[in-house]
Amino acid sequence: MSTNEVDRALNADIRQRAAQLLALPEDQWFERKSVRIAPKDLAKTLCAMGNAEGGTVIIGLSNGAVEGTRNHAKSVNALRQASMDHTSPPVRTHFSTVGCINDLQELDNLLIAHVQPGEAVHEMTNGDCYLRVGDESRKLGFAQRQELHFDRGVAQFDGSPVSNMTPADLDPTLLRNYRLNAGFSGTNTQLLRNRGLLASTGDVTAAGYLLFAPNPTEGFPHAVIRVVRYRSTSRGSGANLNVEAGFDERVEGPIPTAIGRARSLIDAWQPRRTRLLGGTFVDEPVVPPDAWMEGLVNAVVHRSYSLAGDHVRVEIFPDRIEITSPGRFPGLADPTRPLDISRYARNPRIARVCTDLRITRELGEGIRRMFEEMRDRGLTDPAYRQGTGSVTLTLSAQSRLPEDVLQRLPRGASDTLSALRATHQPLGTGDLLELTGLSRPTLVKQLNALRAEGLVQWTGRSPKDPRAMWEPAE
């Protein structure tokens, strides 16, 4: 569910409002609490949402009942102070009230807590730290908290103000479409403020500018998606550059528009092959469209916009699609184990709006969905390669290994094979150690097992040749 549904319910007729809010499932951005909840317990939810992408907490609804808050003035006052009293630094929370009809059919109120994503890591006053994951407020361990601390400063670039840029400077058509999509009845300024797209100075934030400015490249020249198609499986260089004539375009514009335009280009340019299906020959993409679409959206939404001079690149080869995004994986995340990467938004405001617009789903689903799409087609797993300032995703049309072969290989050997295939060049053992982050004994064990299965080949003059190279078998 997107936050649009919460807004629609809050703007419903007062007689239907509470019932609609009770019917909504709790998720990444939405939770209901009893008015009798202890302020310290409410603070855990505020802390978790502040450490993620923010969200909305409705107070006065519990276990299917409409309690309301009218007869609980003392409790409401304490709950309004929960973030000040129990979180450090205090979670930025704006409270408001809306009318409702309680279970006694009396006119009553609900207390609404609008939580903004924080610029720093929020903790409880006792030192505990929470992060919103799906419909849970999870207590973080030491390593997870370190990861959050490590990246929090960079993550909040999308909340920085863009000087002299006000709501009046944004595209009115895009804002109107967003308001209609969200079912929001207030003004553009109110909507922007509710989504953290308006700074306290009154200036639009970087997120609001990138999402809704008519020409965001005026302020962020690197906010571009470059789509390139190559004639062969290698890029080439100089006079031998293999870029196909007429197939190199820069896509600019507000994020939702740019993603749509890039999607159309990739769909038209993606490699296809002919196969027999149900007695008829059909053309189908060699890489599942849902997989590269997830990769494209993740690259644009979660890239580091603070890194000037680089842009998102989509490179289309006859046998694969590679998507490069500026910025490294957050904190302690291991790119060689992508399915174990914990959810984290570098640009929480952008991510939330794109979910409202149905461009993305809840965070954490994208990587899993790409793996499922590739595996369903019998293709090798997506492979990530992290450089000094960027991450490259490779979606290859190579067939996935048979299950019996996977059973014989050491744990992680298929990931090493995918990483080697993704480089499209022979690598030495030292290069592979750096690429995979494995220990030498583990890597050598994997390589020898892959070699025994005929999946990789080794070229060298002697077993100890320092210049020996590994590459995928033909």
Give pLDDT tens digits for 154-177: 546 888 899 889 999 999 999 998
Q: What pLDDT digit, counting tens, does each position of 416-457 carry?
A: 887 787 777 888 988 888 888 889 999 999 999 999 999 999
- Say whether pLDDT at 110 is over 90: yes
| Distance separating alpha carbons of residues 9 and 13, to the nearest angstrom | 8
The domain made up of 3-140 has a fold known as 3.30.950
Segments of the chain assigned to CATH 3.30.950.30: 3-140
Enter the tokens of residue 161.
Answer: 């103000």
Q: What pLDDT digit, counting tens, does each position of 381-427 carry?
A: 898 888 878 899 999 988 788 878 888 999 888 878 877 877 778 88
Q: What are phi and psi of 369, to 5 degrees?
A: -65, -40
- In terms of average pLDDT, the best of 42-51, 126-135, 352-361 is 42-51
Number of Cβ atoms within 10 Å of the Cβ of 264: 12
The pLDDT of residue 23: 94
Residue the block writes with tokens 């790409």: 370
- Report the alpha-carbon angle 472-287-374, nearest 5: 75
Please, which residues have CB within 8 angstroms of residue 258's CB and are 6 or more apart in sequence?
Answer: 223, 224, 225, 251, 252, 300
Segments of the chain assigned to CATH 1.10.10.10: 401-474
Number of Cβ atoms within 10 Å of the Cβ of 423: 16
Span 100-128, average pLDDT:
93
The pLDDT of residue 340: 65
Task: Kindly report the average pLDDT of the chain as a whole number.
Answer: 87
Q: What pLDDT digit, counting tens, does each position of 217-236 carry?
A: 999 999 999 999 999 988 88
The pLDDT of residue 68: 95
Residue type at 244 in one-letter notation: E
Q: Is there a contact between 20 and 12 (Cβ–Cβ < 8 Å)? A: yes
* DSSP classification of residue 167: G
| Distance separating alpha carbons of residues 21 and 1, to the nearest angstrom | 12
Reported as a pLDDT band with limits 50, 70 and 90, residue 151 is: low
Enter the tokens of residue 385.
Answer: 């390669």
Q: Which residue has the higher pLDDT, 390 or 339?
A: 390
Enter the tokens of residue 408.
Answer: 């014989």
Segments of the chain assigned to CATH 3.30.565.60: 153-400
Number of Cβ atoms within 10 Å of the Cβ of 134: 14
Q: What pLDDT digit, counting tens, does each position of 70-87 carry?
A: 999 999 999 999 999 999
- Say whether pLDDT at 210 is over 80: yes
Beta bridge mates, 323 = 314, 393
Reported as a pLDDT band with limits 50, 70 and 90, residue 197 is: very high
Q: Is there a contact between 343 and 132 (Cβ–Cβ < 8 Å)? A: no
Q: What pLDDT digit, counting tens, does each position of 253-299 carry?
A: 999 999 999 999 999 999 988 765 555 667 789 999 999 999 999 99
The pLDDT of residue 335: 64
The pLDDT of residue 263: 96
pTM: predicted TM-score of the whole model, two decimal places: 0.67
Domain made up of 401-474: CATH architecture: Orthogonal Bundle (1.10)
| Domain 153-400 indexed as CATH 2.30.38.10 | no
Angular region, 279: left φ>0, alpha ψ -120 to 50, beta rest: left
Span 22-29, average pLDDT:
92
- Say whether pLDDT at 136 is over 60: yes
